[in-house]
Amino acid sequence: MTSPTTGTPAGQVDFYFDFSSPYSYLAAESIDALAARQGHRVNWIPMMLGVIFKTTGSAPLTQQHPWRASYSVMDFQRSAEMAGVPFRYPSRFPQAGHNAARVLLWLQQTAPEKAKAFTLAVFRSLFVHDGDIQDAGNLAAIGRTLGIDEAALRASMQDPAVKQRLAANNDDATARQVFGAPTFFVGTEQFWGHDRMPQLERRLQQLNGRDVAA
């Protein structure tokens, strides 16, 4: 368990994300490869930005001032193009990602080998195929393609223990002063945003004792 005071264990990157965050989607497509290049593993931590925004008084980018909202939609697409990742702005946005987060937490406990595939499939459902990730039926359909038991998947969304784990993730994110997604931690050092991933990789290189040009 990561502590806000002691930070992320050595050799690990903590990755906080929300399923309704476009920049989390972009980060999810490449964070494992980035960390692996530097000999690190990734701890995938789903959370709910809505809980964070209640604490910080913020709001989704597309619900802020119209100038910033329209810019954000443009930047989602442009950032995806730069990353070489397919992207289609959803017709329903933002969407609540709590059901997907609960299924992921359940998979991390019961079938961790399927957790990442499920996560990426949910992100792509929303940001490539214009799917409804709030819909239990859609999540069950994603699970079927991965060979996940449908009844157990549906039950995980209502499991009190799984709900508590998601609440604990939100509490942990708040304790570490996470204010947006994606957010990464190396030790106690925080990196916010998909566009800060080069800085994250630079820090991992430094921790490995490699010379990094200034």
Q: Give the CA distances from residue 98 to residues 33, 48, 84, 101, in Å, rounded to whole numbers and listed in that order.
A: 26, 7, 28, 5
CA 150 – CA 124 distance, rounded (Å):
20
Is the confidence at residue 183, as pLDDT, over 70? yes
- Two structure tokens written together for 101: 């987060």
For 16-70, the pLDDT digits (tens) are 999 999 999 999 999 999 999 999 999 999 999 999 999 999 988 989 999 999 9
CA 126 – CA 29 distance, rounded (Å):
14
User: What confidence tier does 203 reach under pLDDT thresholds 50, 70, 90?
Assistant: very high
Question: Facing residues of 3 across strands?
Answer: 7
Q: Has residue 3 been placed in a domain?
A: no
Full residue range of the structural domain in which residue 150 is found:
12-207
Q: Has residue 141 been placed in a domain?
A: yes
Q: Has residue 62 been placed in a domain?
A: yes
Q: Has residue 6 been placed in a domain?
A: no
pLDDT of amino acid 4: 56
**Which of 122, 123, 112 has the alpha carbon at shortest distance from 145?**
122
User: What confidence tier does 209 reach under pLDDT thresholds 50, 70, 90?
Assistant: confident
pTM above 0.75, yes or no: yes
Residue 57: CB atoms within 10 Å? 6
Q: Has residue 104 been placed in a domain?
A: yes
For 154-180, the pLDDT digits (tens) are 999 999 999 999 999 999 999 999 999
Q: Has residue 169 been placed in a domain?
A: yes
pLDDT of amino acid 214: 46
For 145-154, the pLDDT digits (tens) are 999 999 999 9
pLDDT of amino acid 37: 97
CB 119 within 8 A of CB 137: no
Q: Has residue 130 been placed in a domain?
A: yes
Q: Has residue 7 been placed in a domain?
A: no
User: What confidence tier does 212 reach under pLDDT thresholds 50, 70, 90?
Assistant: low
Number of structural domains (the chain) is: 1
Percent above pLDDT 90 for the chain: 91
| Mean pLDDT of the region 86-101 | 97
Q: Could you tell me the CATH number of the domain that includes residue 143? A: 3.40.30.10
Q: What are the residues whose beta carbons fall under 8 Å from the beta carbon of 99, sequence distance 6 or more? A: 133, 134, 136, 139, 157
User: What confidence tier does 213 reach under pLDDT thresholds 50, 70, 90?
Assistant: low
